[in-house]
Amino acid sequence: MTEAPQGAAGEGPGGHLDFGDWSRPVVGVLGGLGPAATSVFLDVLIRATVAGSDQEHIDLLVSQHSTTPDRTAGILVPGAPDPGPVIVRDAVMLERAGVDLLVLPCNTAHHYARQVEAAATIPLLSIVETTARAAVESAGGEPIAVFATEGNIHAGVYQEAILAHGGTPLVPDRAVQEDINHLIYGQVKAGAPVDLSLFESCIERVIDRGAGVAVLGCTELSVVYDQHGYRGDDRLVDSLTELARITVRRAGKELTELFR
């Protein structure tokens, strides 16, 4: 076998990948849930990291497991394929490959986070906890609207986290939730054009109900946020952005000015 050049990834002890500089953590990304959201997360992570060269960026191993069963169906539909064991297997695979911590850029999948934490011995950074904390800080005591999948809402993923951090969650009414579902499944996940007027309407309707901010608790909505000019909108707290921030910090890197 040809020896890997110094600084490149080769095979280390126990079959683990050797990333060269073991003083820097390697991040394992449990991706593909969905594919576009993982792609945006990786792009945001790069833009959020102060780096003057390739070598100063964060080392990542990415599992883009797009065929993982649907998380919302797994929560809501009796007998639907269970995504939990698939996500757990991917986490164990990444740990065995030598990563030091895990990130899961999918909010609904955090319903299965306890299974991952039980199977892996390395930390799993929580997109939900870091986003809920940021939302409570941003809301100024006002309610926090939760934009998420039906499965996420049903499981109370964000409602519980917001309450735990001292905030007040606001679940959208049925009409708004149906529009959010359409944005997530009928447009972003389907690769269709995004109806920005519909997205804007969802925001305006929950603000009219008294929300101080809306949490983008589905990473497909983070795709809209990042790609359609909503970055910096103080009505929104974006979960992919918050996950990127905590990942950069836990990897021992500095955040760029745009993401501080």
In this structure, how many other beta carbons lie within 10 angstroms of the beta carbon of residue 12?
A: 15
Q: What whole-number distance in Å separates Cα of residue 101 and Cα of residue 253?
A: 14
How many CB atoms are closer than 10 A to CB 240?
28
Per-residue tokens: 252: 């021992």
The reply to whether 218 belongs to the active site is yes
Consecutive H or E run containing 201? helix 196-208
State yes or no: cis peptide before 98, omega within 30 of 0: no
- Of 104, 116, 124, 218, which is the active-site residue? 218
| CA atoms within 13 Å, Cβ hemisphere of 2 | 5
Residue of 106, 116, 161, 184 with catalytic role: 106
| Amino acid letter for position 127 | I
Contact predicate 237/158, CB 8 Å: no
Residue 199 CA to residue 181 CA, distance in Å, equals 11
The reply to whether 202 belongs to the active site is: no
- The two tokens of residue 120 are 């892996």
Residue 227 parent element (H or E): helix 219-227
- Give me 242's structure tokens: 């918050």
Sheet strands (E) in the chain: 10-11, 17-18, 26-31, 59-64, 101-103, 124-125, 144-147, 169-170, 213-216, 236-238
Q: Give me the active site residues, please.
A: 106, 218
